[in-house]
Amino acid sequence: MTPESAVATRIRAALAEHLKKDVSKIQLQSDLRKDLGLDSLAMIELLFKIEEAFDLEIPNDDLSQITTVGDVINYVEQRVGTPAGSASASRPAAVAAKPAVAAPASKVAAPKKKESRRA
């Protein structure tokens, strides 16, 4: 059996926490609606959380292809560029920290001085 990717681990753990189930009960083949009992609102909430966690947007047209836990994982892995079975990545590439870039001195605005209104 191949090791689980970081994306898969995060998604399964989030689902288990949301559903108050043991993570071992969240299998790749589990149907989100039939097996895990997610209704339409819960599906939207789940996908919103995934969008936030992985810094991506899931178009409405793609929702119909996401029916199982495995579908969610595969979809996210394809979007963030994490290969399936890659356990070495601790965070998806899309949310990795970016180095800070200093603005040129000519573009930095000097702070405005407060005016005194004494009479």
**Residues tagged active-site:** 39
Dihedral sign for Cα atoms in the order 5, 62, 18, 91:
positive
Between CA 8 and CA 3 the distance in angstroms is 10
Sorted by sequence, the CB contacts under 8 Å of residue 44 that are 6+ apart come out as: none
Query: Are the C-beta atoms of residues 66 and 50 closer than 8 Å to each other?
Result: no
Between CA 109 and CA 114 the distance in angstroms is 15
Between CA 100 and CA 60 the distance in angstroms is 33
Dihedral sign for Cα atoms in the order 75, 51, 17, 5:
positive
